[in-house]
Amino acid sequence: MGNKVLEYLSSKEKNLYTQLDLLFEMYIDGTIENTLTSFKFYDIEIFAYCNKGAENSMQLSFKYYNLACVIDFFNKKYEYVIYAIGESFDQVKDSFIECTYEKEVSINSLIYLIYDKLKRHSNLKDNTQSMIKKKRYKMIANVCLAIPCAIIGGFSIYILLTKETIKLEPFFILIIIIPIILWLTFYIKSAKLK
């Protein structure tokens, strides 16, 4: 799609650029994606549509925690919607906010405005604490799995080096099974957290 946009922009004189053309230019040089990334948005998607005879447009789609935002840019206006991830189009179709361009488009100020609205949105759930818990559970699970691996590996190396056999007591099975059960428990707990 970038080639069509480049072809379209090269066919116009720079002094005749519309606001949307300026946004196309920012899309081509990576300014839009860099700006969105700097605000810690994720799942960023940019779609640019250039058709001769039809209205050109560009759509930005990105997520912030449990919220999603879609911005549609057209020649004379833009519109955006902020909604909770998982809502259907029927639930959000009346929530689109239509705006006109200022004299000169500033992607930074526009994205900051959206970012501010996202931060103040009533459905925002900051999942930072659950992410910390998830990392902690994964770390505990990995340590629990490393214990039996280290014990079995240590015994294996000892047997290889000394060429002796080791008689293991029945309690040794518990030393192996308990960490594996703990690993499974914490692994499942970390997988359930979102």
Strand 57-64 and strand 42-49: the pairing is: antiparallel
Instruction: Give yes or no: residues 183 and 89 share one domain.
Output: no
Instruction: Give yes or no: residues 104 and 16 share one domain.
Output: yes
Q: How large a percentage of the chain has pLDDT more than 90? A: 18
Reported confidence tier of residue 10, pLDDT bands at 50, 70, 90? confident
Instruction: Give yes or no: residues 172 and 113 share one domain.
Output: no
pLDDT in tens, 143-178: 988 988 898 888 889 888 988 887 878 778 888 888
Q: Could you give the dihedral angle defined by the CA atoms of residues 144, 149, 152 and 156, in that order, rounded to the nearest 10 degrees? A: -160
Instruction: Give yes or no: residues 17 and 110 share one domain.
Output: yes
Instruction: Give yes or no: residues 43 and 107 share one domain.
Output: yes
Angle formed by the axes of helices 128-162 and 171-192, to 10°? 150
pLDDT in tens, 116-132: 988 888 777 766 677 77
Instruction: Give yes or no: residues 74 and 156 share one domain.
Output: no
pLDDT in tens, 22-38: 888 899 988 999 999 99
pLDDT in tens, 49-102: 887 667 889 999 999 888 899 999 988 889 999 998 888 878 888 888 898 887
Q: Could you give the dihedral angle defined by the CA atoms of residues 100, 48, 92 and 34, in that order, rounded to the nearest 10 degrees? A: -80
